[in-house]
């Protein structure tokens, strides 16, 4: 018997203008780990909801076809019976936790089934062990980090005894450490023979962990196959607006230049390293010590940092300290100068003090010690209203900053506060909507926009104010690759027009691609302040701050013996390095 | 008045929440038995002693009392000026300090004012003691054990569980408006209230959105699968709790006896 059988499944939400799922067929056998890829709106979540009966029992609509969980038809059995077999973990850690403390939350499922108390206790213990939260029983759920909350959510599902686990973008809201922990749990569960469906945008993390991949687009399965086969077919990824692992992109270029066969295209970091080692036998120091790769500055990688440094200092932070609770400093003596025209990335683990720092810059919090100046004037001398005319702050979650009932009102809010008249306001709104490429009627309610569009609206609401400096907190969280590129390109354009940009991000690939400067915050202190290229050549420092450089840089670090330069930050550079080394040796 | 749990290992911390609730109720009833401020003063000394015994920092205690202080003063003044001597029974309360027309300040008025003030003081202090020595969780367990339908207690518990989440959301919306130049510092009640309205709208929308997601998450965890849910409550009463309950019941009985005897009147 198959664990999951999906036969000709089509579905359309009641208010949707088109089919949300179309003719889906899938069979999953016990112990399989399957990755599900697709852009936002491709139907991934809808599909997953159909697996435990949420569709059509909770989310109503027109359904045809059939879904069987083992032998249970999801249109016949209650959701409550189905969830004992299919556990579902959502992307948002906030809204799936019920208990005041950890133990109670894990118990929620088993208690709902009326299991005997001893059995419930045993299950709590077992599932907390599995997710690495043993000893957390009495902790208040409210005080857990995002990563811990997500692990708790997994434990809660495991405690119900589900044999099939559906993870819907479980790491979307997590930092790298939190992500890593979740992926480790997936591996552990795989070893224990659980069947897992993993919806994820992080293809690099997926490649080594799933056996089979399905790609969804416009509600249909457009491609499926063994992980290797799918990931080696790199053009598929651009076709469906997905981000391939850097290593596969690199391999595909080699394949196109007929340097390797298609079957040799690597899909994981290890495979990539092995491939290059094979292509480039050990370097003999005499010939290879002078390898220089043309590090093109087309993307503005390091060139600008030189320029920006000569520019006027726009924000200056001197000896800044801050603590929420006495004797537990969050920021310890920070010194930083941000120049006009900088595109600066603020990176570091959650809890390193990044958001706190930005809140102080925008006067949402007051520093305990030290001072912040904006263009030479202390920000204490500005009122909020005055500072808001120069410095903008885009928060992480668009839903926390959109508060009006139409696009127009949303964009107008700050403009009215600035005291502009109506003609000028309309002019600005028109202009900004053009920049962010949001072509919906002005009366549209923000909640009727997609997540990507809401993020753009949030950026637009600050942009419209035409400020000199912008702080943008994790602009790409929860976005698919295409959405991420759109937003980053938008920010890049702003930077070119002279806006100073500070972004908080965890995505080192974006840092490498877009920023001229990266500041590493670790335990409330600045650990490094340099170009991304310089930073990525310092593994010890990165390790201390628990940052993971882009996959391509990680690979380059392991290839020093082959003569590959350490400071490589993207696919083109590695490709150039490998090709020039290969030519030189005439291999 | 509702103070956060303040961890500690005192006897009060260790007592079962039910024993504490009994004692709390007994003391609350006793507060209203006597109009003579002497008895309430005694209680006030007792409750203040308990408060210090719990090891609460002075700063926290003053944070509890400061907001009620003006109200206390106001009550004191009003009662002192508005209760004429003929309302009182005992001679000490019938002394008139000043009289002009209907306006009269009597010793009884002052004393009765003192009683009211002490009552409120005691209520504030006792409820603070109860809440800061008992984790919220224990109250919730009592609620679960009571005969409330499980849906109702789940509703309340989940509601309480999401208070901090909503607080965070309020703060975020607040900040989002601040950085776009919203003026919350403006003088005048009207403009201030007006500035807060835009906060309520997104909050309402957010909570509707959240409740929808929560409903899905509940189903996902099998809510409503079995007619009877297992309960894991662990609060249990021991000897000390029973002694405590007996003691306070006895005190209440003594209180009733005194009251019937007409002692403690003004």
ipTM value, please give it.
Answer: 0.80
Task: Looking at the complex, report in whole angstroms how far the Cα of residue B57 sits from the nearest Cα belonging to chain A.
Answer: 14
pTM above 0.95, yes or no: no
Which has more confidence, B206 or B2? B206
Report, as an integer, the average pLDDT of A317-340: 90
Question: Is there a contact between A117 and B232 if contact means CB atoms under 8 Å apart?
Answer: yes
With helix as H, strand as E and coil as C, how does B54-115 read? CCCCHHHHHHHHHHHHHHHHHHHHHHHHHCCHHHCCCHHHCCEEEEECCEEEEHHHHHHHHH
* A286 has a pLDDT exceeding 50: no
| CB under 8 A, 24+ apart: contacts of A451-456 | A451/A40, A451/A398, A451/A478, A451/A479, A451/A483, A452/A40, A452/A479, A452/A480, A452/A483, A452/A486, A452/A487, A454/A398, A454/A399, A454/A402, A455/A398, A455/A479, A455/A483, A455/A487, A456/A486, A456/A487, A456/A490
Which has more confidence, B264 or B26? B26
Which has more confidence, A194 or B191? A194
Nearest residue on chain A to B177, alpha-carbon basis: A401
Give residue-wise pLDDT tens across range A494-522: 899 889 999 999 889 899 999 999 999 99
- Pick from A514, A424, A403, A504: which is nearest to A466 by CA? A424
CA distances (Å), A79 to each of A28, A57, A395, B46, B225, in order? 20, 7, 36, 55, 9
pLDDT, position A548: 87
CA A395 vs. chain centroid, Å, equals 15
Question: Beta partners for A351?
Answer: none
DSSP A15: T
Nearest residue on chain A to B175, alpha-carbon basis: A364
Q: Is A405 on the interface with B (CB under 8 A)?
A: yes
How buried is B262 (Cβ within 10 angstroms: 0-12 exposed, 13-18 middle, 19+ buried)? exposed
| DSSP run (H or E) holding A75 | none
Q: Is B10 on the interface with A (CB under 8 A)?
A: no
pLDDT, position A315: 94
DSSP A501: E
Q: Which of residues 518-547 of A touch B (CB under 8 A)?
A: none
CA-angle at B61, arms to B60 and B67, nearest 5°: 95
pLDDT, position A284: 55
CB pairs under 8 A between A and B: 168
Task: Looking at the complex, report in whole angstroms how far the Cα of residue B81 sits from the nearest Cα belonging to chain A.
Answer: 46
Buried b (16+ CB within 10 A) or exposed e, B110-134: bbbbbbbbbbbbbbbbbbbbbbbbb
Residue A21, SS3? Answer: strand
Q: Which of residues 227-256 of B touch A (CB under 8 A)?
A: 227-232
Give residue-wise pLDDT tens across range A125-182: 999 999 999 999 988 888 888 889 999 999 999 999 999 999 999 988 788 888 889 9
Q: Which of A111, A397, A413 faces B232 most closely, judged by CB atoms?
A: A111
Give residue-wise pLDDT tens across range A382-413: 888 888 889 999 988 787 788 888 899 999 98
Which has more confidence, A546 or A423? A423
Q: Which of residues 435-454 of A touch B (CB under 8 A)?
A: 447
Report, as an integer, the average pLDDT of A64-89: 93
Cβ contact A150:A141 at 8 Å: no
End-to-end CA distance of chain B: 29
pLDDT, position A300: 42
Q: Which residues contact B172 (CB under 8 A, 6 or more apart)?
A: A395, A397, A400, A401
Residue B169 pLDDT level (bands cut at 50, 70, 90) = confident
Task: Pick the residue of A98, A106, A358, A445 with the most B CBs within 10 A to test the interface with B by mutation.
Answer: A98
* B114 has a pLDDT exceeding 70: yes
**How many C-beta neighbours within 10 Å does residue B149 have?**
8
Residue A531 pLDDT level (bands cut at 50, 70, 90) = very high
pLDDT, position A293: 54
Contacts of A374 in chain B (CB under 8 A): none
Q: Which of A330-339, B146-155, B177-186 has the highest mean pLDDT?
A: A330-339
Task: Looking at the complex, report in whole angstroms how far the Cα of residue A9 sits from the nearest Cα belonging to chain B.
Answer: 21
Give residue-wise pLDDT tens across range A212-244: 999 999 999 999 999 999 999 999 999 999 999
How far apart CA A428 and CA A408 sit, in angstroms, is 11
Nearest residue on chain A to B232, alpha-carbon basis: A117
Q: Which of residues 191-210 of B touch A (CB under 8 A)?
A: 198-199, 201-202, 205-206, 209-210
pLDDT, position A490: 86
* A79 has a pLDDT exceeding 50: yes
pLDDT, position A310: 67
Q: Which of A426-440, A502-516, B180-194 has the highest mean pLDDT?
A: A502-516
Give residue-wise pLDDT tens across range A255-270: 999 999 999 999 999 9
- Pick from A18, A25, A73, A15: which is nearest to A47 by CA? A25
Report, as an integer, the average pLDDT of A12-33: 93
């Amino acid at each position: 018997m198959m664990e999951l059988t999906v036969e000709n499944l089509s579905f359309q939400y009641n208010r949707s203008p088109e089919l949300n799922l179309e003719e889906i067929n899938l069979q999953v056998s016990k112990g399989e780990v399957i990755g599900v890829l697709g852009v936002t709106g491709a139907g991934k979540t809808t599909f997953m909801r159909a697996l435990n009966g949420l569709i059509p029992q909770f989310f109503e609509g027109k359904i045809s076809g059939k879904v069987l969980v083992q032998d249970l038809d999801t249109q016949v059995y209650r959701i409550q019976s189905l969830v004992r077999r299919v556990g579902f973990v959502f992307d948002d850690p906030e809204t799936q936790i019920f208990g005041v403390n950890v133990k109670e939350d894990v118990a929620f499922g088993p208690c709902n089934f009326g299991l005997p108390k001893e059995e419930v206790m045993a299950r709590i213990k077992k599932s907390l062990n599995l997710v690495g939260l043993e000893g957390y029983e009495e902790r208040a759920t409210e005080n857990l980090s995002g990563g811990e909350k997500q692990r708790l959510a997994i434990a809660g599902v495991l405690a119900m005894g589900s044999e099939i686990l559906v993870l819907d973008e479980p790491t979307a809201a997590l930092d790298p450490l939190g992500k890593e922990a979740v992926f480790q749990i997936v591996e552990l569960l795989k070893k224990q023979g659980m069947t897992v469906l993993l919806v994820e945008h992080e293809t690099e993390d997926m490649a080594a962990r799933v056996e089979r991949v399905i790609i969804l687009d416009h509600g249909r399965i457009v491609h499926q196959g063994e992980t290797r086969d799918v990931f080696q077919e790199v053009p598929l990824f651009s076709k469906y607006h997905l981000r391939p692992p850097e290593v596969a992109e690199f391999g595909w270029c080699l394949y196109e230049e007929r340097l390797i066969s298609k079957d040799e295209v690597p899909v994981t970091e290890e495979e990539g390293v092995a491939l290059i080692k094979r292509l480039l036998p050990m370097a003999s120091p005499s010939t290879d010590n002078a390898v220089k790769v043309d590090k093109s500055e087309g993307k503005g990688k390091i060139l600008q940092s030189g320029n920006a440094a000569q520019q006027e200092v726009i924000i200056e932070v001197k000896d800044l300290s801050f603590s929420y609770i006495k004797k537990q400093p969050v920021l310890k003596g920070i010194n930083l100068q941000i120049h006009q025209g900088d595109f600066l990335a603020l990176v570091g683990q959650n809890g390193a003090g990044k958001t706190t720092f930005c809140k102080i810059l925008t006067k949402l919090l007051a520093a305990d010690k030290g001072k912040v100046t904006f263009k030479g004037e202390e920000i204490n001398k500005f009122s909020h209203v005055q500072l808001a005319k120069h410095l903008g702050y885009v928060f992480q979650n668009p839903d926390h900053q959109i508060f009006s009932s139409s696009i127009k009102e949303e964009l107008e809010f700050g403009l009215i506060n600035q005291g502009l008249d109506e003609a000028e306001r309309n002019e600005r709104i028109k202009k900004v909507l053009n920049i962010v490429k949001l072509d919906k009627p002005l009366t549209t309610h923000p909640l009727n926009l997609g997540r990507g569009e809401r993020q753009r609206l949030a950026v637009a609401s600050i942009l419209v104010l035409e400020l000199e400096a912008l702080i943008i907190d994790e602009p790409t969280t929860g976005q698919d690759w295409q959405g991420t590129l759109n937003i980053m390109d938008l920010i890049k354009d702003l930077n070119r027009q002279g806006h100073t940009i500070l972004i908080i991000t965890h995505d080192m690939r974006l840092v490498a691609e877009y920023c001229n400067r990266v500041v590493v915050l670790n335990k409330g202190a600045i650990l490094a302040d340099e170009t991304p290229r310089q930073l990525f050549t310092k593994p010890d420092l990165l390790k201390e701050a628990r940052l993971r450089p882009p996959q391509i840089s990680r690979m380059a670090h392991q290839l020093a013996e082959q003569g590959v330069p350490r400071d490589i930050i993207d696919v083109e550079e590695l490709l150039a390095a490998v090709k020039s080394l290969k030519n030189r040796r005439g291999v | 008045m509702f103070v956060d749990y303040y961890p500690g290992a005192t006897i009060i911390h260790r007592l079962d929440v039910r024993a504490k609730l009994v004692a709390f109720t007994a003391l609350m009833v006793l507060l209203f038995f006597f109009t003579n401020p002497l008895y309430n003063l005694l209680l006030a000394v007792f409750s203040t002693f308990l408060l210090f015994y719990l090891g609460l920092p002075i700063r926290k205690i003053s944070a509890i009392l400061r907001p009620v202080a003006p109200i206390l003063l106001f009550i004191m003044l009003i009662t002192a000026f508005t209760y004429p001597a003929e309302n009182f029974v005992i001679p000490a309360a019938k002394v008139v300090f000043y009289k002009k027309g209907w306006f009269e300040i009597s010793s009884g008025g002052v004393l009765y004012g003192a009683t009211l003030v002490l009552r409120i003081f005691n209520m504030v202090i006792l409820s603070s003691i109860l809440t800061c020595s008992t984790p919220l969780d224990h109250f919730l367990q009592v609620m679960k054990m009571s005969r409330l339908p499980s849906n109702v207690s789940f509703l309340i518990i989940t509601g309480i569980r999401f208070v901090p989440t909503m607080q965070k959301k309020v703060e975020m919306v607040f900040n989002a408006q601040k950085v776009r130049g919203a003026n919350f510092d403006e003088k005048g009640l009207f403009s201030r209230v007006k500035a807060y309205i835009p906060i309520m709208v997104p909050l309402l929308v957010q909570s509707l959105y959240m409740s929808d997601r929560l409903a899905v998450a509940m189903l996902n965890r099998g809510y409503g699968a079995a007619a009877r849910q297992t309960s894991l409550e662990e609060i249990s009463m021991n000897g000390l709790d029973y002694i405590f309950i007996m003691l306070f019941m006895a005190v209440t009985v003594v209180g009733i006896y005194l009251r019937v005897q007409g002692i403690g009147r003004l």
